[in-house]
Amino acid sequence: MSEQALQTYGAQTAVTPMDLLDRAMQRGMDAEALGKLLELQQRWEADQARKAFVKAMAAFKAEPLKIRKGKHVRFQTQKGVTEYDHATLAQVVDAVVGALSKHGFSHRWETTQQDRLISVTCVITHEMGHSERVTLSAAPDESGGKNSIQAVGSTVTYLQRYTLMAATGLAAHDMDDDGRSAGPVETITAKQIADLEALITEVGADRAAFLKFCKIERLEDMPAAKYASAVKKLEAKRGQ
């Protein structure tokens, strides 16, 4: 039986695999044709699930969503006092998850660690079964005198927040300041931050010395215009 005939047959009968199996057996369909029918059904179901995901995500994004920045941070740097407000992971989850659920979405995180590189993946799943995911990676956050467990926990929380917002498409307009100055200078993206963290670990660079070279306190403060030169500096370390 041809692919076109299989599609016509599937369109004229019930769409469940069990119905297809029952009718195929009644008509004496051979095993090869039956397998193609089941594959066709599975592809159709996957395509319908993907379309439902896209439609529901569009509806989710069409609704205004405000994330409260309830944590204030203030610290001294070489350039003066830096102050900013940012949303905690709990505030992001409170704001986003309820709205996701309304449109049939759920979320979960997958966390892995290889050597010093921590990777967090946010998986967004629609009730029809289609899932999409975003992964970011970074080294343990050892700032502020954290012990090893606290350093890992800080990075995991940071990446959970960023991956959830990126996976839902909210990062562009609702991402918190998270250490960036209030001035007009454009800073690097969350992905660029994660890439630099990974590169620092990969080439064995001295993180403190690298930050000093870039004249910043944290990677989040790095101007976007300096990203390329920062990568070049780290890559040069690779050959040493």
Are residues 221 and 115 part of one domain?
yes
Are residues 51 and 126 part of one domain?
no
27 in a structural domain: yes
Are residues 116 and 51 part of one domain?
no
Q: How confident is the model at residue 185 (pLDDT cuts 50, 70, 90)?
A: low
Q: Say if strands 117-126 and 105-114 run parallel, antiparallel, or are unpaired.
A: antiparallel
Are residues 114 and 34 part of one domain?
no
What's the rounded mean pLDDT across residues 35-41? 78
The rounded distance, in Å, linking the Cα atoms of 33 and 3 is 9
In the prediction, which pLDDT does 145 show?
A: 73
In the prediction, which pLDDT does 50 show?
A: 93
63 in a structural domain: no
In the prediction, which pLDDT does 176 show?
A: 44
Are residues 86 and 22 part of one domain?
no
Which of 198-205's residues contact partners 24+ apart within 8 Å by CB, and which partners?
Answer: 198/117, 198/137, 198/138, 198/139, 199/231, 199/234, 199/235, 200/139, 200/234, 201/115, 201/116, 201/117, 201/139, 202/238, 203/234, 203/235, 203/237, 203/238, 204/237, 205/234, 205/237
In the prediction, which pLDDT does 182 show?
A: 37
175 in a structural domain: yes
Per residue in 124-173, pLDDT (tens digit) is 999 999 999 999 999 898 876 778 898 899 899 889 888 888 888 775 44
Domain residue limits at 181:
71-238
